[in-house]
Amino acid sequence: MDFQAEKELVLSFYKALENAALSESSAVFENYCSTDWLWRGVHPFDVQTGPVAVDAIFWSGFSHAFSSLQRRMDMFMAGENWLSETKETWVTSMGHFMGLFDNPWLGIKPTHKLVLLRYAEFHRIKAGKIVETALFLDIPALMMQVGLRPFPDQTAAQVVHPGPLPHDAIMTASQPASEGAKTLAAINQMISDLGQWKSGLPLEEELARSWHKDMVWWGPAGIGATYTIERYAKQHSGPFRAAFSERSGTGHVCRFAEGHYGGFFGWPNFTAKPTGGFLGMPASDKAGEFRVVDIYRRRDDKLIENWVFIDLLHYLKTQGLDVLQRQQS
């Protein structure tokens, strides 16, 4: 399969949505999405069903807040869900929404200046309609852009996340199936070998099984981005593992690859107990949920770049803290 029809559907959907007036967005959703469309969004939007609900609960307020809204893609790919027993085709894009922050959103005051909101979006296509979507937004990164401080100091760097170094990830044309198979194999090896933190190896040796030495980890606001295995181990992986115990198994909804790129999302990916404390919260024996997107670039037989989205607002809500509500008070 070349997935071209599904790609063209999503690109047409994006174009129609970007060109629609505020009063027309609901009609766009109804045209491209099924009546029972399952839509997942980060906190506070969570799970919605059907075009009318998605427009009312999320899109109408979002598009009103950010004038002259653009979707600036760094990655666009499609593939068959490796986790499904039936043939499921998914289309994924990643990049930033760019706009002028002209009206309040989620209690965040507008700046009337340009902002960039990092996103990753997965769409399942069936019979010419979008039937399932997961949209991850890095809302804390937006909060930090406008001068708020939703979390304590990060362990890694807060930066605007660029797209892949080769600038070849907007794959509107079909890619060799053999390359996608190699990428998926590299992702699966990383998950099976390292995903449960039980390899018994020193951390940097464990990471080197799946990652190039000069890897880049583009993490979410609250954790940050880091570069090279050594710094990734020190600035994220090591501190994160030290903060948590009793990690559950991995639960992904969708996982696929195309060309040198691939990724997955979970709802949740895993649960874990913050027995060492995390994001300024004290240690707890209450398991928290991690809804996560990981998107990867492969070089040769190992992974070299990783863009990560974690719904940290939802995680903290499971621990009893509503960050959005707190910043409004």
Q: Percent of the chain beyond pLDDT 90?
A: 91
- Least Cα distance to 325 among 46, 28, 44 occurs for 44
- What's the whole-number average pLDDT of the chain? 95
pLDDT at residue 329 in the model: 64
CA distance linking residue 92 with residue 94, whole number of Å: 7
Domains detected in the chain: 4-145 (3.10.450.50), 177-328 (3.10.450.50)
Q: What is the pLDDT of residues 140-176, one digit of tens each?
A: 999 999 999 999 888 899 899 999 999 999 999 999 9
Q: How confident is the model at residue 220 (pLDDT cuts 50, 70, 90)?
A: very high
Kindly report the pTM of this predicted structure.
0.96
- Least Cα distance to 304 among 185, 217, 220, 236 occurs for 217
CA distance linking residue 103 with residue 61, whole number of Å: 9
Sign for the pseudo-dihedral over CA of 261, 163, 279, 157: positive
Q: What is the pLDDT of residues 21-73, one digit of tens each?
A: 999 999 999 999 999 999 999 999 999 999 999 999 999 999 999 999 999 99
Query: Radius of gyration over alpha carbons of the chain, in Å?
Result: 19
Residue 89, pLDDT above cutoff 70: yes
- Least Cα distance to 82 among 302, 300, 264 occurs for 264
Q: Is the peptide bond before 44 cis (omega within 30 degrees of 0)?
A: yes
